[in-house]
Structure formats: C-alpha cells, structure tokens
Amino acid sequence: MRIRNLAVTATLIPVLMLAGCGADTSADVAASSPGAQKASKHTDVPVGAAQPETTQVSDDPVVNAYYDYRAALDTMMKSGGKATKQLVPVMTPTLYKAISLQAKYYRARKLRNTGATKVVWAKRTVAAAGVIVRACYDTKAARTVDAKGRGVIPAKTPTRWVDEMRVEQRDGRWVVDGGRTTPQKC
C-alpha cells in the first residue's frame, strides 16, 4: 500500500497499528477507519457512566461492548487524541496501546473528527478466532479535519465500512480485542 499524502496517512494509521494483532491470520487491519465515530444510537455520556435507557441498543452484551468501543473511539477522535481514559474499560490492553498511538498521531498532526458515524447494523458471530462482532457503519456525516477545520480525507474515500472485531471477556466484562475494518457496501 502506498501512502500518498497526509489524508491517506490519517486514514491508514489504524491499519498500520494493529497489523498481525491476535491469533487470527486475517487480523491485519486495525479496529478503526477514517472518521470512525461514535455509534449514532449512543449519546455523549462517558463510557462507564450510567447510560440513559435510550442508549440500550441490544440485549446482547457482546454487541453492546462493540457500541461502547465505538463511543469511546469517537470521543478520542473528536478530542483530537486528548481524551483516552474512556478507552481503557472497553478494549484490551494490546488494543489500547495501538489506539493510544493513533491518539498520539492525532495530537501531533492536530487532527480531530467532527460529525457522527452511524452504525447501520451489528451482530455477533462465532469463528475459530473466538467471538466476533461484525458491524456495518457509515462515515458519510463524519469528517476528519486539521487545525484550520479543513477536511483531510480525500473525497473519494469510501463511507461504508465493515468491522469484524474480536470481543472477549476480561474481569467479567466484554471488551474489544481488535480485528479488521474493510471498506465495503453494506
């Protein structure tokens, strides 16, 4: 893959962070993509805080772990990489380390996200690699901007993405352990 400019770099930094993470040989893409934003069914209530009843999106705690991960990731990117504490309870330490590097990249380049990502659907599946949440999300309303508010993602960048994220139970709580994200109509 050739990196041509800052916009492509901002898009691909998560991809480069988690290459080869986990036992799954296809786990070559990170847990986020450009403009990855908070799930649209969540509010701005911090992760770990009491969530309003309207934010319950599933009866499945594994799927809800994915939504919490998306909300925490959205908060980090909207803050320009400054807010990272909310990431700890929703992901494994290995994924946290990778996403922290992405946050550092956002801070160094003075990038931040605006708008919101809409999770179109999310469902649990079981694979050889463990419990997987497969989800489709749309970044059409989300933008990654620089310090001057100029968009840094090329106009032809796909807006529909499919996440395939491993979710595992740690200390009695479901957390995201990484996986892959691919541009795909869904």
57-75 pLDDT, tens per residue?
688 999 999 999 999 998 9
pLDDT above 90: percentage of residues in the chain = 59
Mean pLDDT of 169-184: 95
Buried b (16+ CB within 10 A) or exposed e, 48-59: eeebeeebebbe
Global pTM value:
0.71
pLDDT tens figures, 133-146: 999 999 888 899 99
Q: CA triplet 161, 167, 173: central angle to 5 degrees?
A: 135
Beta bridge partners of 174: 169
CATH number of 6-183: 3.10.450
